[in-house]
Structure 1
Amino acid sequence: MSTPTAVDVPTLLEISPQGGIEGRSRRYEKYLGDMDGVYRDEQAWQDAVGERGTDDLVYWVDDQRYQEGPGALIVGTSTVLPGLYGEEFAVTRGHLHAVADRAELYYCLSGRGVMLLETLDGQTSAVELAPGQAVNVPGHWIHRSVNVGDEPFVTLFCYAADAGQDYAVIAEAGGMKNLVVADGDGWALKDNPDHTGYRAG
């Protein structure tokens, strides 16, 4: 029986409802300039860049991983700042796991958001999340976090360390099949006319 290394031992994590993990392995941040091509309304995104600059923070992810490979878990928080780009709410880039059958759990810590979900064969779903609610995303579902409120949307997530991410699948399809747009004081789904369908998995 092998002796655990420093990265294999249980780790206490301090998880903030405002986003972030004390004890994280890494943090990555996405800025307005990184979101080129994410929103259908390109002019609205360009206008935002003109007003706020490319270095304006739009979301960040903290995660903690104690080892790589099968059997290990990655735990993290995703914090999406509020905003509108034309009629579209602020989103993450979204992804399908590179190992497509890997599932992921998202638990809302604060704010109000939607998990936008689609499969390569055309199934769609949108799950609204408020604090205390979670969505268990099965494998083979593309998923994107959307902030539909006026404060940061913070989720705690957990997935297999060997899952990886495929970010290109959405861009190659002309965006996701549905957009999450403002509708009065709430939100609605709207067809994305640029969506061309997903490549075979």
Structure 2
Amino acid sequence: MSIPSAVDTPVSLEISPDGGIVGRTRRYEKFLGDMAGVYRDAAAWQSSVAERGADELIYWVDDHRYQEGPGALIVGTSTLLPGRIGEEFAVTRGHLHAVADRAELYHCLSGRGVMLMETLDGRSVAIELTPGKAVNVPGHWIHRSVNVGDEPFVTLFCYAADAGQDYEVISAAGGMKNLVVADGDGWMLAPNPDHVGYRQTDAD
């Protein structure tokens, strides 16, 4: 019987009150200036940059990669701050996994958000998440987090370490097929007239 190496040893993760992970492997942050082309209303985005500054933090992701090789997982947290650009709520860039059949699980820790999901062949689903609710994003589904509340939307996620991310699939299609926009005190889906359809991919 082989003895597990240090990287195969079980670890305990501590999630801080702001949604970050103590002892994280990595943190990356996205600022308002990084979000060019993400929102359909480019004029509203430019106005927001001028008023609020390009260095305003929009969201950050902490993850913990504790193992490599087949079967390894990445566990992390995503914290998306509240806000609006025009009629659109604050969003993450969104992605399809580079190894497209890899699934991902999201569990809401705090806040109120929507997981917007679409497939290359045009299916679209939006699931609202509040604390204690989770969503399984199957393989081959593009997905994006949207904060529709007035406090940080924090999710715990888990996916295969070899999945990778394809961020360009959304921009190449003119944005996602649907937008999550304000509707009174709530939200609704609105068709994106700039969407030209997703390119097919050979990723598997």
TM class, shorter-length: over 0.9
Q: TM-score, normalised by structure 2?
A: 0.96
Is 1:91 equivalent to 2:91 in the alignment?
Answer: yes
**How far apart, in 2, do the equivalents of 1:69 and 1:147 lie?**
34
AA aligned to 1:175 is G
Could you tell me which residue of structure 2 aligns to residue 42 of structure 1?
A: 42
**How far apart, in 1, do the equivalents of 2:16 and 2:136 lie?**
21
Is 1:152 equivalent to 2:127 in the alignment?
Answer: no
**How far apart, in 2, do the equivalents of 1:197 and 1:71 lie?**
33
Could you tell me which residue of structure 1 aligns to residue 122 of structure 2?
A: 122
Structure 1 residue matching 2:64: 3-state secondary structure? strand
AA aligned to 2:82 is P
Question: How many residue pairs get matched?
Answer: 201
AA aligned to 1:165 is Q
AA aligned to 1:75 is V
Structure 1 residue matching 2:45: 3-state secondary structure? helix
1:44-193 pair list within 5 angstroms: 44-193=44-193
Q: TM-score, normalised by structure 1?
A: 0.97
**How far apart, in 2, do the equivalents of 1:106 and 1:39 lie?**
23
AA aligned to 1:189 is L
Could you tell me which residue of structure 1 aligns to residue 11 of structure 2?
A: 11
Out of 99-108 and 14-23, give the one that drifted further.
Answer: 14-23
Deviation of 1:16 (Å): 3.1
Moved over 4 A (4+): none
**How far apart, in 2, do the equivalents of 1:115 and 1:16 lie?**
23
Deviation of 1:18 (Å): 2.9
RMSD: 1.0
Could you tell me which residue of structure 1 aligns to residue 25 of structure 2?
A: 25
Q: Structure 2: which 5+ residue stretches go unaligned?
A: none
**How far apart, in 2, do the equivalents of 1:75 and 1:36 lie?**
28
AA aligned to 1:19 is G
CA contact (8 A) 1:118 1:125 kept: yes
Deviations 1:75-104 (A, max 9, x none): 000000000000000000000000000000
Deviations 1:52-78 (A, max 9, x none): 111111000000011223200000000
**How far apart, in 1, do the equivalents of 2:68 and 2:34 lie?**
27
Deviation of 1:151 (Å): 0.3
**How far apart, in 1, do the equivalents of 2:91 and 2:10 lie?**
33
Deviation of 1:2 (Å): 4.4
**How far apart, in 2, do the equivalents of 1:16 and 1:92 lie?**
21
Deviations 1:143-195 (A, max 9, x none): 00000000000000000000000000000000000000000000000000000
**How far apart, in 2, do the equivalents of 1:69 and 1:108 lie?**
28
**How far apart, in 1, do the equivalents of 2:91 and 2:17 lie?**
19
Deviations 1:25-55 (A, max 9, x none): 0100001111000000001111111111111
Identical aligned pairs, as a percentage?
A: 81
